[in-house]
Amino acid sequence: MPQVRRGILPKDSVVPQSTERILFCGWRRDMEDIIMVLDAFLAPGSELWMFNEVPENDRKKKLIDGGLDLSRLANITLVNCEGNAVIRRHLESLPLESFDSILVLANESAEDSAIQADSRSLATLLLIRDIQTKHLSYREAMVTQAHRGSWIKEMQQASDKSVIIIEILDPRTKNLLSMSKISDYVLSNELVSMALAMVAEDRRINDVLEELFAEKRGNDLQIRQAELYLCEGEELSFFEIIVRARQRREIVIGYRLANAERAVINPPSKNERTRWSLKDVFVVIGEKE
């Protein structure tokens, strides 16, 4: 067995929870469930903007009929905006640069056709990224102009400013998103199928999924800054990071280096020493805060 040093955690190991501003484009049947989960996770004072074609009065009725008590929302404030997410002038009426994250939902009006739903979501994604690109400051625009290679590169620069996650239904659509690198995506149908398959294979997996995805209790997957576990330029093995995380009652399962596009989950060379940066992040399983 390798010798692992326990080490000392940095003094400031408390993760402050900050307010967020989130935009939802589109409407799903289970919107009330999504809102309740966000209200459990987000910090008090956060805002959830809902932008879709459903009239505001109809939205409230749908949410109440689904079991959501709007008066009991403790951490988020709902902001209703009506419009079509594939019409540019409607999107331009929103403060797109002010959102911490944007989620493009597979609209229920097109859910009968996965291709049609994905086409609308992709159109919304491209419009939002183009609007954000056009709204870059003059100085940033000049830098972009100097290094311009294609419209994809311009949108990649805009993607560094805010996070957009797009929900897709057809597995073939993910190939387009993987090549563009201008957005993350969630293949919702595939996730549900995988969860059902795991539970069907071993019903005990259901307890694990419930632990990870429960709203207000248990543990969940989190992204943690490297400064919680190490100092700038410190050389540590992945085993040593794991031991330090245990002092915070967390389990480190992977990491993403600052200059890397993808995270490494369950790295094979856990005893190999690496010089870490405070810009790196770790994927951990930890208690909800």
**CATH 3.40.50.720 corresponds to the domain 21-194:** yes
Assigned token pair, 165: 């996650």
β-strands 264-265, 250-256 pairing: antiparallel
pLDDT of the residue at 139: 44
First CA to last CA distance, the chain: 34
Cα-based angle 78, 81, 83 (whole degrees, multiple of 5): 150
* Helix, strand, or coil (residue 203): coil
Mean predicted lDDT score pLDDT of the chain: 83
Place of tokens 């390798």: 2
pLDDT at 273 over 70: yes
Q: 275 pairs with which residues across the strands?
A: 235
Q: Rounded to whole angstroms, how far apart are CA atoms 222 and 15?
A: 11
> Domain limits of the chain?
21-194, 218-287
pLDDT of the residue at 138: 45
DSSP string, 72-115: G--SEEEEEEE--TT-HHHHHTS-GGG-SEEEE---GGGTT-HH
The whole-model pTM stands at 0.73
Instruction: Identify the CATH class of 218-287.
Output: alpha beta
Pick the closest to residue 183 from 103, 256, 70, 276 (CA basis).
Answer: 103
Break the chain down into helix, strand, coil percent, rounded to 5: 40, 20, 40
Q: Rounded to whole angstroms, how far apart are CA atoms 26 and 105?
A: 5
Strand ranges for 178-271 from DSSP E: 184-187, 219-225, 235-236, 250-256, 264-265
Contacts of 262 (CB under 8 A, 6+ apart): 256
Give residue-wise pLDDT tens across range 114-160: 888 888 988 998 899 888 887 665 445 555 454 555 555 555 555 55
Give residue-wise pLDDT tens across range 52-76: 999 988 998 999 998 888 888 999 9
Cβ atoms 98, 81 nearer than 8 A: no
Distance of CA 213 to the CA centre of its chain: 14
DSSP string, 122-184: HHHHHHHHHHHHHTS-HHHHHHHHHT---HHHHHHHHHTTSEEEEEE--TTHHHHHHHH-S-E
Domains 21-194 and 218-287 share a fold: no
Q: What is the DSSP letter of 229?
A: T
Give residue-wise pLDDT tens across range 175-232: 777 766 666 788 888 888 888 999 999 989 888 888 777 666 667 788 888 988 888 8
Cβ atoms 47, 76 nearer than 8 A: yes
